[in-house]
Amino acid sequence: MAVTTRVEPPKPLPGARPVRTRRRPHLKYVYGTVAVVVALAVWEVLALLRVRPAIVLPGPGDVITAFQNLFSTSAIWTDLLTSGRELLLGLVFAAVVGLPIGMLIGWYRKLSWILSPFVSFLYATPRIALTPLLIIWLGIGDSSKIMIVFLMAVFPILINAASGVQNLDPAVLRVARCFGGTDLQIFRTIALPGTVPFIVSGLRLAVGQALIGVFVAELSGAQAGVGMLMNNAGQQFQTSVVFAGLFIFALTGVTLNALLQRVERHFDSWRNPSD
């Protein structure tokens, strides 16, 4: 019979300071910044070598010049305000509708059975294909465009909220009911806090879908907007302006996702703080 011995870790000497592991939380930002700078440098070199004509592949300098030309006029502010209003209202309506319906679907099984066929059908349907119908029903004004953004954003929020409620620990719910907790009390004290990470993740996914909705909505009969600006510039082969509009959409998405990610990390207790 083999005898196993347990080796105890060495004890620190009296008066010795504990060794602390150095944390470099900003290291990932350094790597990310270097990667972006290298990518921009390669892009600029390719543009200067004219591997492709400037009308096909403008360089970062051309895009910066396009930005300067755009912001030297007042029309760009109208475009930004129009697209921003459509994005904000569409996201707010999607959250107001998607969150309660999703949580109710996850909480009440019979309601899930009733609504799941409709949710699955609409989620599987390419919502962009509904654009002609929405224009016919609501006109070519802001209402149809906000509705397109709403339809693009509501399902990630709804589905993630339902998944968050359905993934609650059943043992915790049983204990709460054993102590006489009502559905409203359990929902408020257990279900709602437990689904916050899922809700924020759904909102982050909805931001990307909403930006797609803004762009698509402004391709059809829009009077202003960044999507309309990009569409008009593309028809006139102003590729640098198209890139400028693309960066406006991308920076908006990155900013909103960064804000939501901070909220997610605040509530997501299992996440490693060193990530």
Instruction: Work out the average pLDDT over 30-56.
Output: 83
3-state secondary structure (DSSP) of residue 98: helix
Higher pLDDT, 62 or 10: 62
Contacts of 200 (CB under 8 A, 6+ apart): 260, 263, 264, 267, 268
From the candidate CATH numbers 3.40.640.10, 1.10.10.10, 1.10.3720.10, 3.60.15.10, the one assigned to the domain spanning 81-267: 1.10.3720.10
Category of 50 on φ-ψ map: left (φ > 0), alpha (ψ -120 to 50) or beta:
left
CB 197 within 8 A of CB 148: no
- Dihedral sign from CA coordinates of 137, 142, 145, 146: negative
pLDDT tens digit string along 139-178? 888 888 999 999 999 999 999 999 888 887 777 777 777 8
Higher pLDDT, 192 or 205: 205
Q: What is the mean pLDDT of the chain?
A: 82
Tell me the pLDDT band of 8, cut-offs 50, 70 and 90.
Answer: low
- Strands (E) across the chain are located at none
**Does 122 have pLDDT greater than 60?**
yes
**Does 133 have pLDDT greater than 70?**
yes
CA atoms within 13 A on the CB side of 166: 14
Instruction: Work out the average pLDDT over 258-265.
Output: 83
Q: Output the pTM of the full model.
A: 0.80
pLDDT tens digit string along 229-256? 999 998 888 899 999 999 999 999 999 9
